[in-house]
Structure 1
């Protein structure tokens, strides 16, 4: 990879955190500081002093028991199992090319642990096409080893996607120093690599899935190459014992020099043999990928363990890519796809055009293609979107299942259709399992526009909006599922008609369609009309076996324009209220900045919500998290209060909330 193509991540000003709440007042609590995603140097630190907002740390000195921010940074959602339904179109294939996504979600330093008070965020939602997410970043002036923050890991895991931290040893042109490479691969007196053990311990404590190792600092020799291979071998052995992964970047060769090969060959094969995957640098050619695929298979490995790098950082879907060299249309795929910096979909937008709606329109175009319907790819589109070649996956396999179509950011926060916080926010850990095929619409008439909309919601920050002049019934696919149906199964739809008249039916299929892209063999069940937000409970009498797909059918009542919203979907047999958390306390306080911690609720919990109880009796939403700790900044006395009162509730999979546990904090 040439230095001019690398984006150096500079330290940024700390973003204000999305406010939070609660805990038992602790007199003279320690000072409350904003928690950030963690980053380290391997061992030795740079000379001089760090810049503003940067903390230099040594990974060799890290211990979980001494980490003051571990409770804020540790993910809590385990990786979900997923399955592959019948493909959405005839060109999308299962079991061949996979997608790796290398994403920089924020600066190396000052990247908030639990979201922030802005909706301008790369709120990735197209997890169904991704097989591995790399938390990209690192710089010589901040730190080289990055642990992904908890919201990203929790969202990815909910969709069955592993997340890797990043080990970045930068090119000399970007301040890389060979001593940092030597620090990483150092041995102790017993001949072991202590930082291999430390990397595995970090991933285990933080709850993510392994490491992406990218050694690009030039000037090494054969001895350093041998030391790196020894280090990687030990890292892989320790990682595998913990269920973690290791991916190698095609940069350092076995002789210790940095020489990007753009292929799997003798210069990097030993590193590939001791890793789970390898990212093949952008220098690949059609011939080098064919030879690489053949070499991988001769080693007894899958050709799809090779990620062919596709650089989209600068031009996104306008990038010139030799797609037939990776995912040819008329033969088996040659290799997998490594997307470098797809957050272009956010970054290329003008500063005044980064609303959530603008972002998702661009992101849908990137992942689905110009047609914006994965069942109907546009064959004239030069951008071969992932949905065109790769079959989507789903994790909707058990009851109860619910979604309020929350994308993990928004302009406001809604509860039961009412705004309880009017500030923008982002927190990917609150993201729902979202429809994987956005947006498949089956109709013989005019196709309505379908999108996530942020101007109204039932819960969270967004709803699904169907907008258009319907002249024929339109069926919207929502979820590919594998849900067992019983006599007690109930599906709840929370919906609203903003304008026009439309008949709504729930669509449930107990088998896959006969051909890719066809309408599933749905059974349609009428749903009660709703002019304002209303929840309709539908019993699936007469259906048995397994639900393979769930959608809705909208039939125009008079053929005019229709605006219809879907705010929630739930599949259940019973409804349970989760137990309340306990042991709530303020662990640190600095004026209006507070750190809260609590003990987990017994039983299954989706996330926790935090509210402030004002003297006039109103509740203000301060934040939500999957963790059992939260930071809130900038609180002030209101309505003459001498102490602020907060509450925390556990929220279950069906969005039922526990009884509150409350706490006061004196001003």
Structure 2
């Protein structure tokens, strides 16, 4: 349900400073939705309590923080803290509400604590905070995105600033896939040594720094810190570094425990292999007696990259490390700098050795495929890179409640689509829009057949990209099946499956769903049952209800099919898309776009919609429009923050619209889409509106995960 939420009334009085009234038409209710709030939500919530009122608007320069908002446009941005003074003076009241990641970490069948061979990705790209710093997205032709989440456990955002706070877009994408997100605390060289002397001087000073790091992670919704000290430590700083690590680790665990209301949740503090127990800076490339004191004080160690096989043997044969081998993350430099094993497209050689000794891995800068190779071939090279590693990586199964939905959007596109139609024409990039990613693979089939799945941004059903299946089916092969999801979704007694696709000519497309008895979920070798659902007819009552709810039509060649499952006590484990030639007597080269797969409880078709509540706006900035066509009506630019309340987890996104009422007695102008919000907060940026008197209405429309 769309809510006509806020209005900006432009006064008819003449004068240099136009008076405009800002009103919240939804009332002053502070009613809370849901039973509990995380501390990240409370961090965000403090900004929602600001009330709208009457203001006299002028064209003065914005007073918004340049650390959190682009000074030219007022767009919200992510940023780091560069000095110790900035860190120690950090206050919750001055935090960026937009950089709060409100998506919790999704569950996986194999929790991090139970995984004996983990994979950490350290994302270090050109100093960090590039296009990904724009929290509401930006325009990029060929952006860097990461989408092989099923292979990794931890995502670390890295820069060379003192305190690297992960942009919320990365934490959101990681959490959707059950991956932990980590920031970085780094000191380097002479300046770093001075910082360490200051904050490690006393118990009071190192606790003050640790407390701030805990508060920052807690507020912004990420899960831990990589501690990277790349300078010597002297005197008391050596002893206090161990105590700092102990205290930071303990406080992170304590806060995460409180945040999840005594449910199990992971937080991590990981030490980078650099400084020794005597304070000297000397990379060991392994865990040994010289750096063990720091390993014992936290959750793990990230080793330097110049190790040899003998280094791995030393660590695995060390009696003191036997119960914590999973906490040893062996560093692998994809750029292959120095004397390293593998690297680049031979990174698999390094990972093979690490797994041979049953150790975890820390893959540093896999963005090499984007930085050093042609960006036009980025997806092809990224798929090639991770395919070579896949034999040594665990495929994690995401645990998802109903509804399970994915349109395969990677968080970018050449256009923005909704239900097969272009909603916005032009390149865009916003990792908040990334949906649950499928498995991308290329397989050679018998008889010379082949089957490949890849991202394609040429056309989409929803978002910016679809999943493209393409290949060759020889006449000797009855069908080819691509596994696109490995997951765990408990099914309802009555479940509806929606499948949107666009096949090439002569191709028959079907689904194979592999399920398991829910009572056997914990058994590692429990047998699967294959279900080949038959599509419901268009006059089926469930199909009619589904179509009525979401307004779905088969536009531009897209085909939409619904399937009804009655599988009591079952869980969905794997989803396959099967393709076959209509004419089995001939070979067939084919392609098929998969636009969306949705699995939902039939009962949700009859659940009444939930409306947006408690909408308000604040931080209004007016700007004069410069230039413009001669003779055209004068215009001004409106910048403001909208916030509202809506139950957590119900919305796929929110559409933010505006319209103009020139006179209260006349009908309003048609709605115009401003953009999509992926949380209950949105910054209207540089919205051109007429200078003439009138009433500007801003409206927020929730779009549920099912697309209703």
TM range (shorter): 0.7 to 0.9
Q: Which of 311, 326, 329 is 2:333 aligned to?
A: 311
The alignment status of 1:365 with 2:406, answered yes or no, reads no
Q: Distance in 2 between matches of 1:327 and 1:275?
A: 23
Report what 1:233 is aligned to: 246
Alpha carbons 1:441, 1:474 under 8 Å: kept:
no
Q: State the shift of 1:445 in Å.
A: 5.8
Asked whether the 8 Å contact 2:5–2:616 carries over to 1, the reply is yes
Q: Establish whether residue 596 from structure 1 lines up as the match of residue 618 from structure 2.
A: no
Partners of 2:653 and 2:616 in 1: CA distance: 12
Q: TM-score, normalised to structure 2's length?
A: 0.74
How many residue pairs match? The answer is 574
The reply to whether residue 35 of structure 1 matches residue 76 of structure 2 is: yes
C-alpha distance 215-590 of structure 1, shift in aligned 2 (>3 A): farther
Tell me the secondary structure at the aligned position of residue 193 of structure 1. helix
Question: Structure 1 regions of 5+ residues with no counterpart?
Answer: 1-20, 45-57, 86-93, 370-384, 657-667
Q: Does 1:401 align with 2:404?
A: yes
Q: How does 1:460-539 map to 2 (within 5 A)?
A: 460-471=463-474, 472=477, 473-497=479-503, 499-511=504-516, 522-527=530-535, 532-539=557-564
Residue matched to 2:123: 103
Q: Structure 2: how far apart are the matches of 1:108 and 1:594?
A: 27
Q: Equivalent residues in 2 for 1:393-432 (5 A)? A: 393-432=396-435
Q: Which whole-Å CA distance do the structure 2 matches of 1:276 and 1:24 have between them?
A: 51
Query: What is the aligned partner in structure 2 of residue 553 from structure 1?
Result: 578
User: What do the CA deviations read for 1:598-628 (whole angstroms, capped 9, x no partner)?
Assistant: 1221353344333444679766554334333
Determine the structure 2 residue equivalent to 1:158: 176
Q: Deviations over 1:409-466 (max 9, x none)?
A: 1111001111111121112122111114535687766223321111111110011112
Moved more, 591-600 or 404-413: 591-600
Instruction: Evaluate the alpha carbon distance shift between residue 465 and residue 645 of structure 1 in structure 2; reply closer, same or farther with a 3 A threshold.
Output: farther
Q: Report the CA distance shift for 1:581/1:459 in structure 2 as closer, same or farther (over 3 A).
A: farther
- Counting only pairs closer than 5 Å after superposition, residues 292-441 of structure 1 correspond to structure 2 as 292-295=315-318, 298-299=320-321, 301-313=323-335, 316-318=344-346, 321-328=349-356, 333-350=357-374, 353-354=375-376, 358-369=377-388, 385=389, 387-436=390-439, 438=441
Partner residue, 1:14 = none
C-alpha change, 1:641 and 1:443, in structure 2 (3 Å) is: farther
CA distance in 1, matches of 2:314, 2:704: 50
User: Do the aligned partners of residues 593 and 336 (structure 1) sit closer, same or farther apart at CA in structure 2, a change above 3 Å counting?
Assistant: farther
1:294, distance to aligned residue in structure 2 (A):
3.0
Higher relative contact order (CA 8 A, sep 6+): 1
Which residue number in structure 1 is paired with residue 218 of structure 2?
204
* Alignment partners' CA distance in 2, 1:82 and 1:642: 52
TM-score calculated relative to the size of structure 1? 0.79
- Contact kept? 1:290, 1:334, Cα under 8 Å: no
Q: In the alignment, is the contact (CA less than 8 A) between 1:31 and 1:590 conserved in 2?
A: no
Which runs of structure 2 are paired with 1:64-83 in the superposition (5 Å)?
Answer: 64-67=92-95, 69=96, 71-83=97-109
What secondary structure does 1:283 align onto?
Answer: coil
- State whether residues 225 and 252 of structure 1, in contact with CA within 8 Å, keep that contact through their aligned partners in structure 2: no
Residue 593 (structure 1) shift: 6.2
Assess if the C-alpha contact under 8 Å between 1:394 and 1:436 holds in 2.
no
3-state SS of paired residue (2:212): helix
1:137 aligns with 2:159: yes
Following the alignment from structure 2 to structure 1, what is the Cα–Cα distance between the partners of residues 513 and 447?
20
Q: Is the 8 A contact 2:443 2:451 kept in 1?
A: no
Q: Is residue 274 of structure 2 the alignment partner of residue 251 of structure 1? A: yes
| Post-superposition offset of 1:485 | 3.3
Instruction: Give a deviation string over 1:553-597, Cα, whole Å, max 9, x none.
Output: 111113433332111111111234343244142423242362423
The 5-angstrom pairing of residues 260-299 of structure 1 reads: 260-295=283-318, 298-299=320-321
| Cα distance in 2 between the residues matched to 1:72 and 1:300 | 43
Tell me if 1:193 matches 2:207: yes
Which residue in 1 is equivalent to 2:664?
Answer: none
- Are 2:451 and 1:448 aligned? yes
Distance in structure 2 (CA, Å) of the matches to 1:639 and 1:468: 56
Deviates more, 1:151-160 or 1:111-120: 111-120
Equivalent position SS for 2:170: helix
User: 1:249, 1:281 within 8 Å by CA — same for their partners in 2?
Assistant: yes
1:311 is displaced (CA, Å) by 0.6
CA distance in 2, matches of 1:638, 1:359: 43
Question: Compared with structure 1, are the counterparts of its residues 444 and 570 closer, same or farther at alpha carbon in structure 2 (3 Å cutoff)?
Answer: farther
Write the distance in 1 (CA, Å) between the matches of 2:440 and 2:471: 19
Instruction: Indicate if the aligned counterparts of 2:536 and 2:564 stay in contact, CA closer than 8 A.
Output: no
- Report the CA distance between 1:136 and its aligned residue: 0.6
Q: Say which SS state the counterpart of residue 423 (structure 1) adopts.
A: strand
- Name the structure with the higher strand share: 2
Rounded Cα–Cα distance in structure 2 between residues aligned with 1:644 and 1:120: 35
Equivalent pair of 2:620/2:640 in contact (CA under 8 Å): yes
Q: Secondary structure of the equivalent of 2:687?
A: coil
CA distance in 2, matches of 1:423, 1:644: 26
Q: Distance in 1 between matches of 2:435 and 2:528?
A: 23
* SS state at 1:589 partner: strand
Aligned Cα RMSD in Å?
3.2
* Aligned with residue 194 of structure 2, among 171, 175, 179: 179
Provide the C-alpha distance between the structure 2 equivalents of 1:600 and 1:479, rounded to a whole number of angstroms.
Answer: 32
**2 CA distance for matches of 1:320 and 1:489?**
41
State the partner residue of 1:217. 231
Q: Please, which moves more after superposition, 452-461 or 611-620?
A: 611-620
> By percentage of residues, which structure has more helix?
2
SS at match of 2:294: helix
Asked whether the 8 Å contact 2:118–2:326 carries over to 1, the reply is yes
Tell whether the 8 Å contact from 1:402 to 1:655 is kept in structure 2 after alignment.
Answer: no
Structure 2: distance between partners of 1:156 and 1:538: 30
**Matches of 1:191 and 1:301, distance apart in 2:** 33
Larger radius of gyration: 2
What secondary structure, in the 3-state scheme, does the structure 2 residue paired with 1:406 have?
coil
Q: Aligned partners of 1:166, 1:216: CA distance in 2, in Å?
A: 13
Aligned match of 1:128? 150
Structure 1 residues 463 and 192, CA gap change in structure 2 (3 angstroms): closer
Are 1:167 and 2:172 counterparts? no
Q: How many Å separate the matches in 1 of 2:535 and 2:515? A: 19
Matched-pair contact (CA < 8 Å) for 1:412–1:422: yes
The 1:171/1:641 distance shift into structure 2, 3 A limit, reads: farther
Consecutive unaligned residues of structure 2, counting only runs of 5 or more, are 9-21, 23-54, 65-73, 257-266, 337-342, 518-523, 538-553, 624-636, 661-667
For 2:571, what is the secondary structure of its paired residue?
A: strand
| SS across alignment from 1:327 | helix
Provide the C-alpha distance between the structure 2 equivalents of 1:147 and 1:644, rounded to a whole number of angstroms: 36
Evaluate the alpha carbon distance shift between residue 618 and residue 494 of structure 1 in structure 2; reply closer, same or farther with a 3 A threshold.
farther
